[in-house]
């Protein structure tokens, strides 16, 4: 037993000795390998193929981006339109290991106090803030949701003054639009780019309008700063700093005049509120230079809070195309005159004309009988325009459409401009283009084409940016100059068309009499328009409000300075005629523009005083009214005048109607081509209610001319646009 015990002890001792020798040998081998590797690293400066000197240098080198400031956007007068405005987001550090450079704690230690203080400045109660601070997830830091974002500098400074440990802020770039709704779809907006990682610096980029089109110039170029730091991230003194300087973005100066733009926005908002159209667009262009002085649309949005943005994602004046309707007759008349195919004294039968298998009608279905071609334009006769197109021939007409740059972009520096299109395959399409159907345009194409009338035959390209300026050196980087878009017609042609546009306002049969402005006679030239809207199912929409109504005006007509173009699509509350609705924008805007360019004429010249006609014979009264340049309208079968409207000593414009009620039986006059306001006057002077259906000018009446009005109920007239 003792021998066996001794043998076991000897074997255990031998095993321990062997293990010790193996362990010593292993350590010796590891030590040799370590010495070898160390010697190799010392000699080569590399480990596992990596340059340790470079890695060490990289580890203690800090790269900081130098962020460029985005450029500002100004109007033509140097007033601010868009600028930078920093917003702040708040966050709380929860990691208890975090310290300042001086070793002080830099995390939220007293959560109760922190929550109580923050609840004074954030839209969160104390309990909600505590939930964020007591996050169950192990996190280095936490944010406070949307309530902790977009804080103003003032709020940030107030919270900072509380000196709460662990409460930090980071600046979020943002854009300020101090004017609110101000050519919003033209100026555009920006977005904050997503962060790639926690250390990435956020920037903003343009996503609409000028902000998008000039994003590269506005954004500038970032720089970089490279410096040596210690293990705590502190920059080492007297170390070489290598940096690439940032270049701030350039400033963009628009051609927009804020005084005109502000006034236009007010007028647009009022009409939008009263009549609720699907779309409303207006633009004012300097006819001599092509500079856009004002541009607005409805629906629109407020860039300060983005309200309305979901319904207004684009600049419809540039990006949408539409059939312009009768405003296109400006180009049709121009082409006919310029090509030698216009005989103003030639007569044609108005009402309707058949082209192949399509019947084309005037807005007044019955027409005006056989009338001279000189009246086709001011009456806005579709049939008259078809006659001109046929006289020219389709090839000549198409050549002029191309001279007027139809179907071609204007090249304005705004995103996504549409080309437009011309449908010219069939004879009926060719005929319809003469009055603005079967052809699609954008708003600026129509302005560009009309500028040929205002500039003696020379077309001017519209532009929206006046110059781009380096904010540091004030050097003009880019400057826009007035550019010709061609000379589609001769000066003599432009002068004749201008006279025809004046007649639209001044002639008794003109469709734009509502656009006359007292004191500025002979200085307003317009063309009205009513265009059908294509149906998604083919053909055109029906219904009294399913049109695009428009007016194109040149001001002042004798020495053009501005072109004003307004369109309204599908007004849902059409309580006035389309012309009257548009005049609520056009007239006050035109008057303001004219005040700066034309000395107002004396009222004795601009208005005509109506004398006292009561008691006069019908013939005597008619002669007096006609001599005044007014239009007499006799109501009844009597021989003497017993009522008149306007009343004695009232002042009205040349060409307007004077209603003369006789002492005989009250009979219905022929009200063809009467405006809605004329019908209201008839109702007033007779004391009989007359129902109006539709809008525009009278095309039919259910009580025939000469029939007795007294005792009749449901007297109704139908109106249509043009």
Q: Give residue-wise pLDDT tens across range 698-709.
A: 888 998 888 888
Q: Dihedral of the CA atoms 125, 128, 130, 132 (nearest 10)?
A: -130
Mean local confidence (pLDDT), 136-142: 83
pLDDT at 41 over 70: no
Q: Which two tokens stand for residue 407?
A: 């179907």
Q: Which is higher by pLDDT, 57 or 236?
A: 236
Q: Which two tokens stand for residue 219?
A: 């954004």
692 SS3 class: strand
Mean local confidence (pLDDT), 362-370: 94
User: Rounded distance, CA 214 to CA 10, Å?
Assistant: 93
- Provide the β-strand partners of residue 370: 349
Range with the lowest mean pLDDT among 155-164, 172-181, 193-202, 413-422? 193-202
Q: Dihedral of the CA atoms 289, 290, 296, 302 (nearest 10)?
A: -80
SS (H, E, C) 318-330: HHCCECCHHHHHH
Mean local confidence (pLDDT), 317-332: 97
Q: Which is higher by pLDDT, 505 or 718?
A: 505
With a CB cutoff of 8 Å and minimum separation 6, the contacts of 495 are 456
Residue-level pLDDT at 358: 93
Most confident of 296-310, 493-507, 632-646: 493-507
Burial annotation 203-220 (CB, 10 A radius, 16+ → b, else e): bbbbebbbbbbbbebbbb
Catalytic option among 258, 287, 296, 326: 326
Residue-level pLDDT at 343: 96
Residue-level pLDDT at 505: 96
298 touches 359 (CB < 8 A): no
Q: Give residue 85's pLDDT band: very low, low, confident or very high (50, 70, 90).
A: confident
Mean local confidence (pLDDT), 330-342: 98
Q: pLDDT by residue (tens digit) across 461-470?
A: 999 999 999 9
Q: Give residue 55's pLDDT band: very low, low, confident or very high (50, 70, 90).
A: very low
User: Rounded distance, CA 208 to CA 189, Å?
Assistant: 6
Range with the lowest mean pLDDT among 49-63, 112-126, 184-198, 366-380? 49-63
409 SS3 class: coil
Angle at which helices 329-338 and 382-392 cross, to 10°: 40
Residue 636 Rama label (left phi>0; alpha psi -120 to 50; beta): left
Q: pLDDT by residue (tens digit) across 651-667?
A: 676 778 898 888 767 78
Mean local confidence (pLDDT), 360-369: 94
pLDDT at 86 over 80: no
pLDDT at 186 over 50: yes
60 touches 230 (CB < 8 A): yes
Q: Which of 436, 716, 389 is nearest to 549 (CA)?
A: 436
Q: pLDDT by residue (tens digit) across 621-644?
A: 899 988 888 889 998 887 878 778
Most confident of 152-166, 241-255, 474-488: 474-488
719 touches 676 (CB < 8 A): yes
Mean local confidence (pLDDT), 268-284: 95
Residue-level pLDDT at 602: 43
What percent of the chain has a predicted confidence (pLDDT) above 70?
Answer: 85
Residue-level pLDDT at 650: 67
Q: Which two tokens stand for residue 119?
A: 């609840």
pLDDT at 341 over 80: yes
Q: pLDDT by residue (tens digit) across 200-236?
A: 567 789 999 999 999 999 998 888 877 776 555 566 6
Q: Which is higher by pLDDT, 278 or 10?
A: 278
Q: Give residue 604's pLDDT band: very low, low, confident or very high (50, 70, 90).
A: very low
Range with the lowest mean pLDDT among 229-243, 274-288, 300-314, 514-528? 229-243
Residue-level pLDDT at 580: 95
Residue-level pLDDT at 539: 82
Instruction: Please give the mean pLDDT across all residues of the chain.
Output: 86
Q: Which is higher by pLDDT, 137 or 129?
A: 129
User: What is the maximal distance between C-alpha atoms in the chain?
Assistant: 165
* pTM of the shown model: 0.75
Provide the sign of the torsion angle of the four alpha carbons 9, 14, 17, 22, taken in this order: negative
Transcribe 210-259 into DSSP letters.
HHHHTHHHHH-B-EEEEEEB-TTSPBPTT---EEE--BPPPEEEES--HH
Q: Which is higher by pLDDT, 414 or 664?
A: 414
Q: Which is higher by pLDDT, 201 or 261?
A: 261
Mean local confidence (pLDDT), 38-61: 52
Q: How far is CA 588 from CA 91, 163, 561, in A?
A: 53, 57, 16
Q: pLDDT by residue (tens digit) across 71-82?
A: 999 999 999 999
pLDDT at 102 over 80: no
Q: Which is higher by pLDDT, 448 or 650?
A: 448
Q: How far is CA 182 from CA 442, 564, 655, 671, 716, in A?
A: 21, 18, 39, 43, 43
Residue-level pLDDT at 667: 85
Determine whether 135 is an active site residue. Answer: no
Residue-level pLDDT at 173: 80
């Amino acid at each position: 037993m003792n021998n066996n015990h001794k043998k076991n002890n000897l074997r255990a001792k031998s095993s321990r000795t062997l293990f010790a020798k193996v362990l010593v040998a292993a350590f010796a081998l590891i030590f040799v390998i370590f010495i070898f590797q160390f010697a190799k690293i010392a000699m080569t400066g590399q480990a596992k193929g990596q340059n340790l000197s470079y890695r060490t240098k990289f580890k203690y080198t800090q790269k900081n981006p130098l962020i460029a400031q985005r450029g500002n956007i100004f109007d033509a007068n140097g007033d601010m339109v868009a600028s930078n405005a920093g917003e702040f987001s708040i966050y709380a550090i929860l990691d208890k290991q975090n310290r300042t450079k001086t070793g002080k704690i830099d995390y939220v230690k007293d959560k109760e106090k922190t929550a109580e203080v923050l609840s004074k400045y954030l839209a969160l109660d104390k309990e909600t803030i505590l939930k964020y601070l007591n996050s169950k997830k192990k996190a280095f830091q936490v944010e406070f949701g949307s309530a902790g974002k977009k804080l103003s500098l003032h709020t940030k400074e107030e919270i900072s003054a509380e000196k709460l440990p662990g409460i930090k802020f980071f600046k979020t770039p943002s854009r300020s639009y101090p004017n609110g709704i101000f050519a919003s779809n033209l100026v555009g907006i920006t977005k904050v780019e997503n962060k790639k990682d926690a250390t990435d610096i956020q920037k903003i980029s343009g996503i609409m309008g000028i902000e998008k089109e000039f994003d590269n110039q506005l954004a500038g170029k970032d720089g970089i700063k490279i410096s040596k730091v210690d293990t705590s991230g502190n920059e080492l003194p007297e170390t070489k700093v290598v940096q690439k300087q940032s270049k701030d973005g350039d400033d963009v100066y628009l051609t927009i005049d804020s005084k005109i733009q502000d006034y236009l926005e007010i007028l647009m908002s009022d009409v939008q509120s009263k009549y609720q159209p699907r779309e409303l667009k207006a633009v004012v262009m300097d006819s001599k230079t092509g500079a856009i002085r004002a541009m607005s649309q409805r629906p629109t949005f407020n860039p300060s809070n983005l309200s309305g943005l979901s319904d207004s994602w684009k600049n419809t004046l540039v990006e949408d195309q539409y059939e312009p309707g009768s405003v296109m007759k400006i180009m049709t008349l121009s082409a006919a005159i310029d090509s030698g195919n216009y005989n103003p004294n030639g007569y044609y039968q108005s009402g309707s004309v058949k082209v192949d298998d399509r019947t084309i009608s005037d807005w007044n279905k019955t027409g005006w009988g056989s009338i001279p071609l000189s009246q086709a334009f001011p009456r806005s006769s579709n049939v008259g325009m078809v006659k001109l197109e046929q006289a020219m021939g389709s090839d000549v007409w198409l050549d002029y459409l191309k001279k007027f740059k139809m179907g071609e972009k204007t090249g304005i520096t705004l995103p996504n401009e549409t080309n437009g299109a011309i449908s010219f395959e069939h004879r009926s399409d060719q005929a319809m283009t003469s009055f603005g159907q079967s052809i699609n345009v954008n708003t600026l194409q129509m302005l560009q084409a009309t500028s040929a009338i205002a500039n003696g035959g020379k077309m001017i390209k519209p532009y929206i940016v006046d110059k781009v300026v380096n904010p540091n050196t004030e050097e003009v980087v880019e400057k826009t100059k007035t550019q010709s878009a061609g000379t589609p017609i001769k000066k003599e042609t432009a002068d004749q068309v201008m006279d025809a546009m004046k007649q639209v306002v001044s002639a008794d049969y003109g469709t734009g009499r509502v656009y006359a402005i007292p004191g500025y006679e002979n200085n307003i030239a317009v063309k009205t328009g009513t265009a059908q809207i294509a149906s998604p199912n083919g053909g055109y929409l029906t219904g009294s409000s399913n049109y695009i109504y428009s007016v194109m005006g040149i001001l002042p007509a004798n020495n053009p300075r501005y072109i004003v173009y307004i369109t309204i699509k599908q007004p849902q509350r059409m309580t006035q005629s389309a012309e009257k609705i548009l005049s609520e924008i056009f007239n006050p805007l035109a008057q303001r523009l004219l005040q700066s360019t034309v000395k107002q004429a004396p009222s004795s010249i601009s208005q005509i005083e109506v004398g006292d006609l009561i008691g006069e014979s019908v013939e005597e009264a008619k002669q007096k009214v006609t001599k005044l340049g007014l239009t007499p309208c006799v109501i009844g079968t009597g021989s003497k005048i017993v009522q008149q409207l306007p009343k004695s000593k009232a002042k009205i414009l040349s060409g307007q109607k004077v209603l003369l009620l006789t002492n005989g039986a009250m009979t219905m006059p022929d009200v063809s081509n009467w405006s809605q306001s004329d019908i209201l006057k008839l109702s007033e002077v007779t004391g009989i209610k007359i129902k109006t259906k539709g809008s525009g000018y009278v095309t039919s009446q259910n009580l025939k001319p000469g029939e007795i009005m007294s005792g009749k109920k449901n007297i109704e007239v139908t109106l249509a646009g043009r």
